[in-house]
Chains A and B, each alone.
Chain A
């Protein structure tokens, strides 16, 4: 067992579980949680290989990806909170059927 194998195994497992979140859970909050898992899985590999190759560009990309993912979460939750019109209904993906601009 070496570090690269562990990094790949952890990242692929996290990415798979994130995908399962997107496919199996209908609540929008849970879907955002799944996306976060996938982003983190990608970040693990980016950081691991950046450090391994002593490549500062990889670390910089991971940092920018982290900031962009945080912004994506903010927009996601803003959408989730704004779509909750009916007081008795939870925000679920099946409620999103149309786009309006």
Chain B
């Protein structure tokens, strides 16, 4: 279990370092996706399955789409420069393979119950009760923030 946890953490750091040394923004974005998926695997490993699921949906899904769209919406000459991959193609296959290895180890080995005896579904039930109970105002505030953020995307002349 601990090995899987260390593997996912190490892969996340490796992907982050690869993102930093990438010459192209597109390469950095793809490495960031690797980091986000490995962080989701870490969440699953500690027993916070719901957080891992939301991490994949929100970060590795929605935010990554936004980043790729922002890169591709640059003027053609700049977008071409940003998207020309710095990875040699055979080496680029290592990225999805490493992500798959991390996620598979998370799914196969389960949570870190031995190290974290209190991890479990009841914690997530309590969290849901908290969010829809005493913390409802905070949830509403964050929802309002997301709404305002989505309004920021609308152009003035639209």
Dominant secondary structure of chain A at its interface with chain B: helix
Query: Which residues B48-75 have CB closer than 8 A to chain A?
Result: 48, 51, 54-55, 58-59, 62-63, 66-67, 70-71, 73-75
B interface residues, how many (CB within 8 angstroms):
65
Bound CA–CA A6/B10 (angstroms): 9
Residue on B nearest A24 in the bound complex, by CB: B20
Q: Give Cα distance in the complex from A71 to B48, angstroms.
A: 22
Residues 13-44 of B at the A interface (beta carbon under 8 Å): 13, 16-17, 19-20, 25, 28-29, 32, 35-36, 39, 42-43
Residue of B5, B118, B138, B142 near A3 (CB, 8 A) is: B5
Of listed A29, A88, A91, residue having the most chain B CB within 10 A: A29
Contact B16 A27 (CB under 8 A): no
Chain B residues with CB under 8 Å of A60's CB are 127, 130-131, 135
Give the residue of A10, A25, A50, A52 whose beta carbon is less than 8 angstroms from that of B12.
A10
Instruction: Knowing A10-B10, A66-B58 are in contact, say whether A51-B119 is a contact too (CB < 8 A).
Output: yes
B28 touches A47 (CB 8 A): no
Size category, A interface = 35 or more
Instruction: Please determine whether B155 and A56 come into contact, CB atoms closer than 8 angstroms.
Output: no
Count the A-B residue pairs with Cβ separation under 8 angstroms: how many? Answer: 181
A64 touches B54 (CB 8 A): no
Q: Is the CB of A64 within 8 A of B142?
A: yes
Q: Nearest A residue to B135 by beta-carbon distance?
A: A60
Kindly identify which residue among A6, A30, A54, A87 contacts B5, using a CB–CB cutoff of 8 Å: A6
Partner of A17, one of B16, B43, B138, B139: B16
Q: Are A67 and B58 in contact (CB under 8 A)?
A: yes
Instruction: Give the CA-CA distance A36 to B34 in the complex, in Å.
Output: 13
Can you give 6 contacting A-B residue pairs, CB < 8 Å? A3-B112, A43-B55, A59-B124, A63-B131, A77-B153, A91-B74
Q: Which residues of A contact B (CB under 8 A)?
A: 1-3, 6-7, 9-10, 13-14, 17-18, 20-21, 24-25, 27, 29-30, 32-33, 36-37, 40, 43-44, 47-48, 50-54, 56-57, 59-60, 62-64, 66-68, 70-75, 77-82, 84, 87-91
